[in-house]
Amino acid sequence: FPMAATDPQVLALAAQITESREQDIPLLLLKLKGILSSPSLGCEESNKIKQDLYDYGLTQYCLLVLKRDHSQLHGAWATAAQLAEILSHCCVGLEVKEDPEEFYKKFLPSAIDTLLVLGKRLQARFTRAIKDKEKQDFLHWFRIVTDAICWLFSGHIQLAACVLQNDRFLQLLITDDVETAIIMMSVLHNILRINSSVLLQVEEETLHSVLDELVYKLSSTTNPAVGSAATKLLLFVAKLSKQLVQLLTARYKGLKGLLSKQWTGKGFDREVNQLLDLLYLEQSSGKGEMQKQHQAACIIQAAWRGFQTRKRLKKLPQAVITLQRSFRAKREQELQHLTKQKEDEALKLQMQLQRQRAMRLFHQRQLALLEVVHASQVNKYMQEMEEKSALTIQRFWRGYRARRIFHQQKQSLKEYKAAIIIQRAACKFLEKRRRRRPLSPWKEPKGLTDEQRLALQQKVDDYIKLHPASQMSEEMSKELHMQAQAKLAQFLLRSRLDQRAAQRREALLAQVNTDVELLMNAPGLAETTEKDLGAFMSRSIPVATKARQTHNTMLKYTRWPWWKKLGDEFMEDDVIPDGAINTELETLFIGGRK
């Protein structure tokens, strides 16, 4: 770190970034905007702060954050666009004295490439966006990034050629979208305005690609804004050098006819006329048939080159994605293979250690037992141990063999069980089919006509209007439920009391009937004996008498002929017909008290 006096805000921010988590660093870097845009700073103080930011690595940190996945940042693309603007302001006006080659040869080109990548991603998302709000936001952030690029190469003129030769700049320029195309053509205009000789310094292929795209835009669109921007750019290029005018005249034979026929009277006639004058000056007065054919061929070639370039650029992201996917899959597979190999080695080592430990314990146990066992019993003990070991080995071998045989026969066992289930289901189906009675042929119901259906619908609607469904609140439902529960409890209690009262009445009625019958059959007072008196005093004698009569009645019922019991086919065996013994049971006394 530098020993000179450093701005306290820079020191505090650097310390805060050092102690913060990685996901919080982008939000902290946004504070650089406030530090750089402070109104109290002069030119020298501003350059001093930029130097401190670069020395403390905050500028490099902005570049590293922009190289990450922007969708995972706090604020996503808005944060990335603001960081791009901050990075450009930190670099413009900065003069690095220590190791300037690192800054001018590596850091600045890397910053330009990162900003172009960010612009390409924003352009792709703007093209895929559906909602107007999203399109406006992505266009705003795209404009911020392009302004940051312009600001960066305006402070470092040597970066203009770096921007123009970058493949991503050509990808940004080759687009069918109107808004982003106009913005990129304004960036190209700023490049040419800042460094007018840049087109003569770049490679011929790059120059031809840029001019092909401008001419293609003039030939493929009817939008006045795109046409005006492309015409102004071609006019600016033609004014830069006579060599470029010759290139335009020789390479694009039909450019003059295209400008005069398609873009005259579109609101920028002055620029069109100036460009036509420059082109006509380089063209000879006579035009032969060969020149016309050459002109037509150049236009076709320009359109074809533009089409091929677009097609190749559209396939490029998919190819990169496929390559990345295959690389990640291969790397994941290698990691899994290494992990599995390590786990297998660890498992083998663990099993070996367990075997060694078990063998050591076994030998120790054997030695301890040999010390305890008498010498004369050692051979017998060893023979018993060998038999036990043999039995253990045989048991494990039989279990292994049985499991192997079972696994081999598992499929056939499944097929056998499936066949049994299918046969059982088929037998049940056939049995049901045999038991099924023949049904009468089905007759299709007569359908309703449209008039009958409308009449029924009208009746239903009228009934619903006359009897609307009542709506009940939750409190009323709970209250109604409590009332129903109370009434049900009262009914159950009352029914139990009524049942007991009915039983008591039946008992009393049976007792009265028994007493009446005994009185009717009793002898006179002159003929009464002590035995007759006991029949009236004892309660068991009447009960036994009635039981005997009931038994005789049931025996008589069982002896009835079959024609008297024709209606009893479905009667249970332990059920006695009430009509047959009702008379006898009416006089039976039920003993006991309530």
Residue 397 pLDDT grade (very low, low, confident, very high; cuts 50, 70, 90): very high
Whole-number pLDDT of residue 437: 63
User: Of the ranges 111-125, 204-218, 350-364, 566-580, which one carries the lowest mean pLDDT score?
Assistant: 566-580
Listed ranges 259-263, 369-373, 394-398, 559-563; the one with the highest mean pLDDT? 394-398
Whole-number pLDDT of residue 352: 92
Alpha helices in 373-467 (DSSP H): 378-435, 450-466
> Tell me: the pLDDT tens digits for 273-307?
888 888 777 665 445 555 777 788 899 999 999 99
191 vs 288 pLDDT, higher one:
191
CA dihedral 115, 119, 125, 127 (to 10 degrees): -170
Nearest of 262, 303, 295 to residue 279 by alpha carbon: 295
The CA-CA-CA angle for residues 537, 543, 546, to 5°, reads: 125
Whole-number pLDDT of residue 73: 65
Q: What CA–CA distances, in Å, run from 546 to 506, 525, 526, 550, 555? A: 16, 24, 26, 6, 14
Average pLDDT for 358-367: 85
Asked if the model's pLDDT at residue 142 lies above 90, the reply is no
Distance CA 10, CA 224 (A): 48
Asked if the model's pLDDT at residue 167 lies above 70, the reply is yes
Mean pLDDT (the chain) is: 80
The CA-CA-CA angle for residues 138, 143, 144, to 5°, reads: 100
Residue 40 pLDDT grade (very low, low, confident, very high; cuts 50, 70, 90): low
User: Of the ranges 155-159, 225-229, 287-291, 378-382, which one carries the lowest mean pLDDT score?
Assistant: 287-291
Whole-number pLDDT of residue 170: 86
Distance CA 306, CA 407 (A): 66
The CA-CA-CA angle for residues 456, 457, 462, to 5°, reads: 95
SS3 375: helix
Asked if the model's pLDDT at residue 573 lies above 50, the reply is no
SS3 471: coil
Say if residue 119 is exposed, middle or buried (CB neighbours under 10 Å; 0-12, 13-18, 19+): buried
Distance CA 419, CA 416 (A): 5
DSSP secondary structure, 183-210, as one string? HHHHHHHHHHHH-TTHHHHS-HHHHHHH
164 vs 574 pLDDT, higher one:
164
Query: Is the pTM of the predicted complex or chain greater than 0.75?
Result: no
Average pLDDT for 131-143: 87
Alpha helices in 56-107 (DSSP H): 58-66, 76-91, 100-101
C-alpha gyration radius of the chain: 54
> Tell me: the pLDDT tens digits for 254-264?
888 888 888 88
Average pLDDT for 181-207: 85
Instruction: Classify each residue of 126-151 as buried b or exposed e, where b means 16 or more C-beta atoms within 10 Å of its C-beta.
Output: beeeeeeeebebbbebbbbbbbbbbb
Residue 580 pLDDT grade (very low, low, confident, very high; cuts 50, 70, 90): very low
Instruction: Classify each residue of 284-301 as buried b or exposed e, where b means 16 or more C-beta atoms within 10 Å of its C-beta.
Output: eeeeeeeeeeebeebbee
Asked if the model's pLDDT at residue 391 lies above 90, the reply is yes
